[in-house]
Chains A and B, each alone.
Chain A
Amino acid sequence: MASKTAQDVSSEPRGFELLLAYVGEPLVLAFLELRGIAQTAALTVAYAIRGQRRREETWSQALRIGNHSLLFVAAVAASLGTTLVYQAGLQAQRILGDLTLLGPLYLQLLLREFGPTITALMLATRVGTGISAEIGSMVVTEQVDALRMSGVHPVEYLIVPRFWASTVMMLCLVCFSVLVSWVAGMLTAQLAFGVSPLTFAKLTFIIPGDVVLMLLKSLVYGMTIPIVAGASGLAAHGGSEGVGWATTQSVVNCSLIILFEDFLLSGFGYLFLLR
């Protein structure tokens, strides 16, 4: 459709056709984008299951994705935790006048929603841009073509190690981030409202479904980021502009897809896990 409309522009477009073009072109582009991501996802999973294992490469990717994100994730988790507890505490004081439920409910929301999703969005920013910039610059310098000429499939060689590393490290980082947010929230509750850590740290509300949902979300996000970022990187073309384009595309695509998955998984949790 994109090509058809462009032709029409050169030969006197009519109002209705122009309208179609405005509506249609973004849809077609989004469809093509999604198809590229789906293809990469299928290839990644196929190679991850039966391709060769590259232990060392996976290990060093895990180090880069996991350990080098610790400080970043901790900073974000701590400031988010503090803010959330502070705001929730103010409201609870105003409306309920009772702060004993603050800790348990906060931990529950952290497990169900904020822990996995915020961590994943942060990693989409930090790791996703890294992966797409790296693969994108390999594409524009023809290194990816050279890989294929050497008989290596770029998805197997470049994306699969990052896929395993990111899937495993995401689980660890989410647990870490939940822990940091929880401790930060505990300190805030103590300092701002005088809620003792013992009251705050009650686990009464937590059900197995909460933990299952958290792990499920982390697993899905961890698999999403390298696939989407890798697909954007492989779609790069042109010089340094191409790399910039791929990086931008990767953050936006990763974040949108994570939000969409969050919506689906939260709905799934609401219907099946948390009753």
Chain B
Amino acid sequence: MAIESAKPSEEEKSWSMGVADATLGALGRRTLSSFGVFWAILHMSWEILIRFFPPRIDGAELMRNLYNVGVRSFSIIVVTALFVGAIMVIQAGIYVEQYGATGLLGWGAGFATVRELSPIMIALMFNGRVGAKNTAELGTMKVTEQVDALRALAIDPISYLIMPRFVAMVSMMTLLVVLGDATALLGGAATSQFLLGVDHLVFFRSFVELIHVSDLMLGVYKATTFGVAMGIISCHYGYAVSGGAVGVGRAVNDSVVSSAIAIFVLNYLVTYIIT
């Protein structure tokens, strides 16, 4: 990304050279720069991993981060999950109505929600709320030399700043998806009762009968994986900021974009490995 943004003029020129050249050029630049980013993210993962054996985490910071991450995202996750449940019931409702199979409504909507949409949507919201904020906070600390100040005080910035954030993001993401599944169910039941006219008990029954625990667990596993990815990526971009307020803005942008890609790719991998 850094290489790409450093040469805006070249990109303008390449536009006039034709779409094919421009696309190839962008592809090449991206491949080169994403190697660098990939390597740096691996390095950050390693730094985090070695601090788990033995655990070196600042306790007070951890509590503060757990509170910030969990409680601050609560209302947004609830609203998101309500809408996701409602939208999936509407989509499934169209087919259910065509074939008159109201007994399958809970299964159709619920299956897609707990396995796919609830983890993905909640992760995207979490990415916007917590991941972006994390990068912005760490980035601001970096450009105002607070990170250097920690080092000067002989405090390891990774144990003190990054570990608590990482642990808070992973654990809260997992818990929030459990909460989100339950809320989505409520949103779905309300929609099926009021918009589709399918009794909510019918909805719940088909959900309970046809959805397996393994379906729910797949969503939870996904959530944990997404939490790990977002934790590492957002901390990496925040920790690597340079260049003042503009740099912070750019880092936040890069961080949410990379996390979003990671979410979808991991979604594919986890689905493929577990089922």
A256 in contact with B76 given A75-B264, A76-B260, A270-B93 (CB within 8 Å)? yes
Q: Which of A72, A83, A270 makes the CB contact (< 8 A) with B268?
A: A83
A75 in contact with B252 given A83-B268, A83-B271, A86-B271 (CB within 8 Å)? no
Q: Does B53 lie at the interface of the complex (its beta carbon under 8 Å from any beta carbon of A)?
A: no
Pair B261/A76 contact, Cβ less than 8 Å: yes
Residues of chain A within 8 A (CB-CB) of B271 are: 83, 86-87
Q: Does A223 lie at the interface of the complex (its beta carbon under 8 Å from any beta carbon of B)?
A: no
Pair A240/B245 contact, Cβ less than 8 Å: yes
Pair A243/B90 contact, Cβ less than 8 Å: no
Q: Does B62 lie at the interface of the complex (its beta carbon under 8 Å from any beta carbon of A)?
A: no
Pair A240/B261 contact, Cβ less than 8 Å: no
Q: Does B182 lie at the interface of the complex (its beta carbon under 8 Å from any beta carbon of A)?
A: no
Residues of chain A within 8 A (CB-CB) of B129 are: 248, 251-252
**Shortest Cβ distance from A113 into B: residue:** B91
Q: Does B240 lie at the interface of the complex (its beta carbon under 8 Å from any beta carbon of A)?
A: no
Q: How far is the CA of A129 from the CA of B87 in the complex (A)?
A: 25
Q: Which of A86, A247, A266 makes the CB contact (< 8 A) with B91?
A: A266
Range for the number of chain B residues in contact with chain A: 35 or more
**Shortest Cβ distance from A268 into B: residue:** B90
Q: How far is the CA of A263 from the CA of B86 in the complex (A)?
A: 7
Q: Which of B87, B115, B144 makes the CB contact (< 8 A) with A263?
A: B87
| Proximity bits, B119-138, A CB within 8 Å = 1, else 0 | 00100110111001101110
| Proximity bits, A70-84, B CB within 8 Å = 1, else 0 | 111001100110111
Residues of chain B within 8 A (CB-CB) of A68 are: 26
**Shortest Cβ distance from A75 into B: residue:** B261
Q: Does A5 lie at the interface of the complex (its beta carbon under 8 Å from any beta carbon of B)?
A: no
A267 in contact with B245 given A113-B91, A133-B250 (CB within 8 Å)? no
Q: Does B155 lie at the interface of the complex (its beta carbon under 8 Å from any beta carbon of A)?
A: no
Pair B80/A259 contact, Cβ less than 8 Å: yes
Residues of chain A within 8 A (CB-CB) of B76 are: 252, 256
Q: Which of B91, B143, B195, B253 makes the CB contact (< 8 A) with A112?
A: B91
A125 in contact with B195 given A251-B132, A266-B91 (CB within 8 Å)? no
Q: How far is the CA of A130 from the CA of B268 in the complex (A)?
A: 27
Q: Does A121 lie at the interface of the complex (its beta carbon under 8 Å from any beta carbon of B)?
A: yes
Residue with the greatest number of chain A CB neighbours at <10 A, chosen from B15, B144, B267, B268: B268
Q: Does A109 lie at the interface of the complex (its beta carbon under 8 Å from any beta carbon of B)?
A: yes
Residues of chain B within 8 A (CB-CB) of A75 are: 261, 264-265
A243 in contact with B245 given A79-B268, A87-B275, A129-B253 (CB within 8 Å)? yes
Residues of chain B within 8 A (CB-CB) of A130 are: 253
Pair A255/B143 contact, Cβ less than 8 Å: no
A248 in contact with B15 given A87-B116, A240-B143 (CB within 8 Å)? no
| Proximity bits, B14-25, A CB within 8 Å = 1, else 0 | 010000001100
Q: Does B139 lie at the interface of the complex (its beta carbon under 8 Å from any beta carbon of A)?
A: yes
Q: Does A206 lie at the interface of the complex (its beta carbon under 8 Å from any beta carbon of B)?
A: no
Pair B26/A71 contact, Cβ less than 8 Å: yes
Pair B143/A80 contact, Cβ less than 8 Å: no
Pair B272/A86 contact, Cβ less than 8 Å: yes
Nearest CB on B from A98, distance (A): 14
**Shortest Cβ distance from B139 into A: residue:** A244
A266 in contact with B139 given A129-B253, A130-B253 (CB within 8 Å)? no
Q: How far is the CA of A181 from the CA of B252 in the complex (A)?
A: 27
Q: Does A48 lie at the interface of the complex (its beta carbon under 8 Å from any beta carbon of B)?
A: no
Q: How far is the CA of A90 from the CA of B116 in the complex (A)?
A: 14
Q: Does B9 lie at the interface of the complex (its beta carbon under 8 Å from any beta carbon of A)?
A: no
Q: Which of B79, B244, B248, B265 makes the CB contact (< 8 A) with A79?
A: B265
| Proximity bits, A241-270, B CB within 8 Å = 1, else 0 | 101110110011011100110110011011
Pair B75/A26 contact, Cβ less than 8 Å: yes
Pair B143/A113 contact, Cβ less than 8 Å: no
A274 in contact with B268 given A76-B261, A129-B252, A244-B140 (CB within 8 Å)? no
A125 in contact with B264 given A113-B87, A241-B140, A259-B84 (CB within 8 Å)? no
Residues of chain B within 8 A (CB-CB) of A109 are: 91
Stretch of A10-18, A37-45, A134-142, A154-162 on the interface side: A134-142
Residues of chain A within 8 A (CB-CB) of B248 are: 240, 243-244
Residues of chain B within 8 A (CB-CB) of A255 are: 80, 124-125, 128
Q: How far is the CA of A115 from the CA of B265 in the complex (A)?
A: 17
Residues of chain B within 8 A (CB-CB) of A153 are: none
Top 5 A-B pairs, shortest CB-CB distance: A244-B136, A251-B128, A133-B249, A240-B245, A259-B83
List 13 additional contacts besides A90-B275, A256-B76; criterion CB under 8 Å.
A67-B15, A79-B268, A86-B271, A87-B275, A129-B253, A129-B257, A240-B139, A244-B137, A245-B136, A247-B253, A262-B87, A263-B90, A266-B90
